[in-house]
Amino acid sequence: GSTVYPAAYPPELAHIEDPGAFWDRAHNEVLDVLAMRGGLGLVAWVVLGVACARRGLALWKKAASTSERAWIAPPLAALVAHVVELQFAFSITATMVMGWLCVAWLAAPDGSGASEEAPGKDPDDSRESVRWRALAPLGALLVLMLAVRLEGGALWADMLVARARALDGADQWKESIETYDRALDIVPWQAAYHQFRAEAFYNLARALPEGEAELRASLFEAADRSLDRARELEPLDVELYSNSGILHALWSEATGDPAHLETAVSLYEQAFRLAPTMVRLQIDLGHIYHSHGRYEDALGQYQVALEIDPRSTDAYYGTGLAWQALGRDDLAREAFLQALEVSPGCEVCMEALEE
């Protein structure tokens, strides 16, 4: 969903939801499956649901006692509740695992077949069956150990990352980086953890005093490596490109090297291709141009944002600041008035207009 939905997301919906949020799916499983897996995927999803319903009803009719029906009712009821829930939300790991367990429950043999050995059956087949029954517990144990390692490790890594995020909020970036490293030792394939670690690196770099240019550069390089790894793991994640763009913009401001600004622009252009209707990305690049004194380029980005979403308060506000920096107070005043027309409660717009 995060690779398909942003490309078609109508920007006007942001005014109903939250303009600052990153919306990556429809929060309706039918629409999400259609977007992510296409028509055939949706048909397969529906066919599976119908097959589960038919299987459950057949077992219900076949049941000879109340206790047997009590064995069939829970998975059926859970799947019906899951389908209803998915019309207003998306699957999370807990509900998805329970849903598939219910499917497996219904698909399992009911044990009603004859247990006697069929006439003329080859004894070697019976011995093979016994061998497989003996090996099955060992296989189940290995699968259980693998599940505990993967799921238990993922849970522990999540706890470490939650602790690291709290340290980030307290500006304790050295400690948070060490905690992210511990989490990545457990699950090195999590792109988000690499991204959070990169943010801690460049926030620590920004907090350094002026005389620490060499250490600041090494921290920016470490952040860049973390984001490179994150993009390798999730090459279609929009946030990773915009975050990398922010890193190089900060790097350019700290060192005065224009090459990093050009890298930032290139990364944002890749993000635009992945999410062409996400106005926030255009505005962010406009702010980056503004902070580097390239006010005409900033105006161009704000104009592109307004072409996508004519009701973007941030784009009007940024336009006003850019015109003000260029000494065109008349055009700046007009932009601030337009921002207030869209959002009458915009305090920074009122302050800028009074100024």
pLDDT of residue 282: 94
pLDDT tens-digit profile of 112-160?
433 444 455 555 555 556 666 666 677 777 777 776 666 777 888 999 9
pLDDT tens-digit profile of 246-261?
999 999 998 889 999 9
For the cut 90, the answer to whether the pLDDT of residue 180 exceeds it is yes
pLDDT of residue 68: 83
By percentage, how much of the chain surpasses pLDDT 70?
A: 86
Q: 213: helix, coil or strand?
A: helix
For the cut 60, the answer to whether the pLDDT of residue 269 exceeds it is yes
CA–CA dist 329, 31 (Å, integer): 47
CB atoms within 10 A of CB 120: 5
pLDDT of residue 277: 85
Which H or E element spans position 123? helix 123-147
Query: What is the average pLDDT score of the chain?
Result: 86
pLDDT tens-digit profile of 70-105?
888 888 899 889 889 988 887 777 788 888 888 888
Stretch 176-185: mean pLDDT: 95
DSSP string, 49-70: HHHHHHHHHHHHHH--SHHHHH
Long-range contacts of residues 165-173, Cβ cutoff 8 Å, at least 24 apart: 165/196, 168/196, 168/199, 168/200, 168/203, 171/203, 171/207, 173/200, 173/201, 173/203, 173/204, 173/207
Of the listed ranges 55-59, 66-70, 74-78, the least confidently predicted one is 66-70
Query: What does the longest C-alpha to C-alpha distance in the chain come to?
Result: 99
CA–CA dist 307, 319 (Å, integer): 13
Stretch 35-64: mean pLDDT: 88
pLDDT of residue 225: 97
Stretch 271-291: mean pLDDT: 92
CA–CA dist 297, 320 (Å, integer): 14
pLDDT of residue 110: 59
For the cut 50, the answer to whether the pLDDT of residue 111 exceeds it is no
pLDDT tens-digit profile of 213-232?
899 999 999 999 999 999 99
